[in-house]
């Protein structure tokens, strides 16, 4: 039930039974992300006034040009999570390898790993288009008391204990799931508090929006080209509306609210796809499924993929259930 006077912290406490581990642990994890998100939001809102937009001149591990806000957001989220004494490891899209974190007692007692895309769609900052943060949380697989290992991060999406995203747009919103539905919270910028604004969100079973970068059309697999043509045909309730922002968080958020399908296929240039399985696709797929949608790579469910490396890429298709099922008929 929606209570718009209920804060994010109050919601977590009231719904603590929906998280099968300690509610205090979940509260600490989400609060860490909430705090960092407010700091990043403050900087995003100053873009254009201070020297925080544009490229740094460096490249990240993906060989992509880093934006100044990429680096800033990465540092803020890592520093905030490190200081909470609950995370044993962090993997970031902006870092070459994972970061190992010891507990305050130096006995490696922390239980969770966090994988994060600190600022998705950051190249849009220069033109004042919505960007976001994506996060994914797992329980460690390695024995408590030992140092975190790569296996703690290379878990299929089915083992996520929580996932979410923050969208920095006309308002700043945080959406997350622990496997019991999706809830959203909107930041009141005056007092700096997130309030419950979206309860148990369900993606419409069908929609009329398709989201894809059609500039790469000639490089798409034939089945994707055929599906695009299907979306454009004047028949029944078609043609569908094409909407593409270039920020996964923004495109998914719109489709989750209104109904639609997001497509990011492999291309001749990126034969394995371009989106990162662990930092982007798994958490968005978890949220999508919890909201009643579907997320696939063209062959299987995204959450069933067994990761082989931290920065693994994959084709990604997600959205309204009936639209994904229709798309699968073309594969």
- pLDDT tens digits, 288-328: 999 999 999 999 999 999 999 999 999 999 999 999 999 99
Coil, strand or helix at 260: coil
Answer yes or no: do 221 and 150 share one domain: no
* Domain membership flag for residue 299: yes
* Domain membership flag for residue 2: no
Contact 36, 21 (CB under 8 A): no
Residue 166 in tokens: 């923050």
pLDDT score at 80: 92
- Report the C-alpha gap between 233 and 304 in whole angstroms: 33
pLDDT exceeds cutoff 60 at 53: no
- Report the C-alpha gap between 274 and 43 in whole angstroms: 27
CATH number at residue 171: 3.30.540.10
pLDDT exceeds cutoff 70 at 185: yes
Q: CA of 132: how far to CAs of 3, 102, 166, 167, in Å?
A: 25, 28, 5, 4
CATH number at residue 230: 3.40.190.80
50-54, 75-79, 173-177, 287-291: least confident range: 50-54
Q: What is the pTM of this model?
A: 0.94
pLDDT score at 174: 97
Mean pLDDT along residues 205-223: 97
Answer yes or no: do 80 and 136 share one domain: yes
Domain residues for 297?
Answer: 209-328
Answer yes or no: do 160 and 281 share one domain: no
Answer yes or no: do 193 and 247 share one domain: no
Domain end residue (candidates: 173, 198, 223): 198
Number of domains within the chain: 2
pLDDT exceeds cutoff 80 at 5: yes
* Domain membership flag for residue 1: no
Contact 92, 116 (CB under 8 A): yes
Domain end residue (candidates: 175, 198, 221): 198
- Report the C-alpha gap between 65 and 331 in whole angstroms: 33
Percent share of the chain, pLDDT over 90: 76
Of the candidates 305, 166, 182, 314, the residue with the CA atom closest to the CA atom of residue 249: 166
């Amino acid at each position: 039930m929606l209570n718009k006077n209920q804060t994010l912290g109050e919601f977590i406490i009231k719904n603590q039974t929906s998280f099968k581990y300690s509610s205090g642990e979940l509260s600490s994890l989400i609060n860490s992300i909430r705090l960092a998100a407010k700091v990043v939001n403050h900087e995003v809102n100053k873009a254009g006034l201070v020297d925080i937009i544009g490229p740094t001149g460096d490249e990240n591990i993906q060989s992509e040009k880093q934006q100044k806000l990429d680096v800033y957001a990465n540092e803020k989220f890592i520093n905030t999570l490190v200081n909470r004494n609950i995370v044993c490891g962090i993997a970031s899209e902006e870092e070459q390898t994972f970061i190992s974190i010891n507990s305050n007692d130096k006995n490696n007692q922390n239980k969770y790993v966090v994988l994060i895309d600190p600022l998705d769609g950051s190249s849009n900052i220069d033109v004042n288009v919505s960007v976001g943060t994506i996060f994914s949380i797992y329980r460690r697989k390695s024995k408590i008391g030992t140092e975190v290992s790569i296996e703690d991060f290379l878990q299929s999406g089915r083992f996520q204990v929580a996932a979410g995203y923050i969208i920095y747009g006309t308002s700043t919103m945080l959406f997350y799931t622990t496997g019991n539905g999706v809830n959203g919270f909107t930041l009141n910028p005056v007092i700096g508090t997130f309030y419950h604004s979206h309860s148990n969100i369900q993606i419409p079973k069908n929609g009329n929006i398709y989201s894809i970068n059609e500039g790469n059309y000639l490089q798409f697999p034939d089945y994707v080209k055929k599906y695009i043509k299907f979306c454009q045909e004047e028949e029944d309730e078609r043609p569908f509306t094409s909407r593409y922002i270039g920020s996964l968080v923004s495109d998914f958020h719109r489709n989750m609210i209104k109904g639609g399908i997001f497509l990011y296929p492999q291309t001749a240039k990126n034969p394995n796809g371009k989106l990162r399985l662990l930092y982007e696709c798994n958490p968005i797929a978890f949220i999508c499924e919890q909201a009643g949608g579907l997320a696939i790579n063209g062959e299987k469910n995204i959450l069933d993929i067994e990761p082989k490396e931290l920065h693994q890429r994959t084709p990604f298709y997600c959205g309204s259930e009936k639209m994904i099922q229709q798309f699968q008929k073309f594969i």
